[in-house]
């Protein structure tokens, strides 16, 4: 989950200055897929991998600004089928295992030993899946708006749970679907998003995206619509993953948490997140010795919400300061 809201101006004062990538790569990962990858900041700095939401959200220049460019080597990439990766909206050979393998391929090609993982919503899901598969290649996790890929979370958002708080918006989401099909909204939209008619796909992509985006932020209104090709890729990929329960076994990420409990983690979670309710973050943090759960007041799900933005920047600045203190002591 996580369609990045466009209302980011309120957060600008809390962010680091805008930067441009010092390197861009196209990495062929097989099955006809190529990935767009960019590197920003300090080529000799501490590596951090940014994992965007969705699935299908793609990266944004806004995401580069959570990091002090003098300290971090920031790697961003568009996951299979979205953003500047190709082919667009492709769901063949596109599963969680494929994405985990893609991250491993990027790490190897860029020569990174261990890196921090910075991911929100679906990006948090993918960060956990990758870390549990490759714990030796991870130095820590910074997660936001935790989504564990469970049936309960999908039922909350697409089965009527969130609708109790947003009945008007839920009615708009249901409106294009015949009454007889509304018991399975993921399935109903799947039949239309994967229709052979591209125009029909585009028509149903917009309400799919608008339902999620409208609930993402408390302090920033959701966008009324998105560019058609973006909406189509986002909706198809997200629906594909959710139709397949995120290609995870039920409870897998919590069950395998023992593989990463030696790693430090910070979770930044909006107290009023209606897309990914805080129970997921709380369940993940419980019993994790070095996990710092920060419930942010008066905030929802969106990365662009002012308090969420400020907390994430503070986390990354704190890690930078700790790194610098260690380096100074080591030189004495």
Are residues 57 and 170 both part of a single domain? no
Q: Which of 54, 33, 97, 43 is nearest to 249 (CA)?
A: 97
pLDDT given for residue 13 in this prediction:
61
Give catalytic status of residue 121 as yes or no: yes
128 and 271 share one domain:
yes
Residue 141, both tokens: 């996790």
Q: Answer whether residue 225 shows pLDDT above 90.
A: no
Closest CA to 124 of 307, 276, 22, 245: 276
Q: Are residues 47 and 122 in the same domain?
A: yes
Residue 222 has pLDDT above 60, yes or no: no
Integer CA distances (angstroms), 92 to 98, 197, 266, in order:
10, 18, 34
> pLDDT digits over 193-218, tens only?
999 999 999 999 999 999 999 999 88
C-alpha to C-alpha distance for 192 and 202, rounded to whole angstroms: 9
Q: Annotated catalytic residue: which of 33, 71, 137, 301?
A: 301
Is 4 a domain residue?
no
Instruction: Indicate if the pLDDT at residue 8 is higher than 50.
Output: no
CATH code for position 260: 3.40.50.1820
Cα–Cα distances in Å, from 34 out to 81, 190, 262, 332?
Answer: 9, 25, 33, 46
Dihedral (C-alpha) 133, 139, 140, 141: value to the nearest 10 degrees?
-50
Closest by CA position to 51, among listed 110, 115, 112, 134? 115
Q: Print the domain residue range for 235.
A: 154-245
40 and 187 co-located in one domain? no
Of the candidates 11, 121, 299, 304, the residue annotated as catalytic is 121
**1 found inside a domain:** no
Q: Do 140 and 264 belong to one domain?
A: yes
Q: Is 260 found in the same domain as 128?
A: yes
Residue 5 has pLDDT above 90, yes or no: no
Whether 273 sits among the annotated catalytic residues: the reply is yes
Q: Is the pLDDT of residue 61 over 60?
A: yes
Question: What confidence tens digit (pLDDT) does each residue in 18-39 have?
Answer: 999 999 999 999 999 999 999 9
Same domain, 30 and 136: yes
Same domain, 146 and 170: no
> Exposed, middle or buried by CB within 10 Å (0-12, 13-18, 19+), for 172?
middle
Asked if residue 37 and residue 78 are part of one domain, the reply reads: yes
Q: Is 301 a catalytic residue?
A: yes
* Residue with the larger pLDDT of the pair 13 and 147: 147
Residues 259 and 140 in one domain: yes
Q: How many domains does the chain contain in total?
A: 2
pLDDT, tens only, 289-313 = 999 999 999 999 999 999 999 999 9
């Amino acid at each position: 989950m996580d369609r990045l809201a466009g209302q980011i101006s309120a957060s600008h004062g809390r962010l680091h200055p805008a930067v441009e990538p010092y390197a861009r790569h196209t990495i062929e990962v097989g099955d006809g897929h190529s990935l767009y990858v960019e590197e920003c900041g300090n080529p000799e700095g501490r590596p951090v991998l940014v994992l965007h939401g969705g699935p299908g959200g793609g990266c944004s220049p806004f995401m580069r600004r959570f990091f002090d460019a003098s300290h971090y080597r920031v790697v961003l990439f568009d996951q299979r089928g979205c953003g500047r990766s190709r082919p667009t909206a492709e769901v063949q050979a596109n599963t969680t295992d494929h994405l985990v393998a893609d991250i491993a391929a990027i790490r190897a090609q860029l020569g990174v030993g261990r890196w921090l993982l910075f991911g929100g919503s679906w990006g948090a899901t993918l960060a956990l899946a990758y870390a549990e598969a490759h714990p030796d290649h991870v130095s820590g996790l910074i997660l936001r708006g935790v989504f564990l890929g469970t049936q309960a979370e999908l039922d909350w958002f697409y089965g009527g749970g969130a609708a109790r708080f947003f009945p008007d918006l839920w009615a708009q989401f249901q409106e294009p679907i015949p009454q007889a099909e509304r018991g399975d909204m993921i399935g109903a939209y799947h039949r239309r998003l994967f229709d052979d008619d591209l125009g029909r796909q585009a028509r149903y992509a917009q309400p799919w995206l608008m339902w999620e985006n409208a609930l993402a932020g408390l302090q920033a209104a959701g966008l009324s619509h998105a560019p058609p090709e973006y909406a189509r890729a986002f909706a198809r990929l997200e629906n594909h993953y959710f139709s397949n329960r995120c290609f995870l076994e039920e409870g897998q990420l919590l069950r395998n948490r023992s593989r990463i409990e030696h790693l430090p983690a910070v979770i930044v979670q909006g107290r009023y997140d209606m897309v990914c309710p805080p129970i997921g973050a709380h369940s993940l943090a419980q019993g994790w010795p070095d996990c710092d759960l920060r419930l942010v007041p008066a905030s929802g799900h969106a990365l662009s919400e002012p308090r969420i933005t400020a907390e994430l920047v503070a986390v990354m600045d704190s890690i930078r300061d700790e790194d610098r203190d260690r380096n100074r002591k080591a030189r004495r």
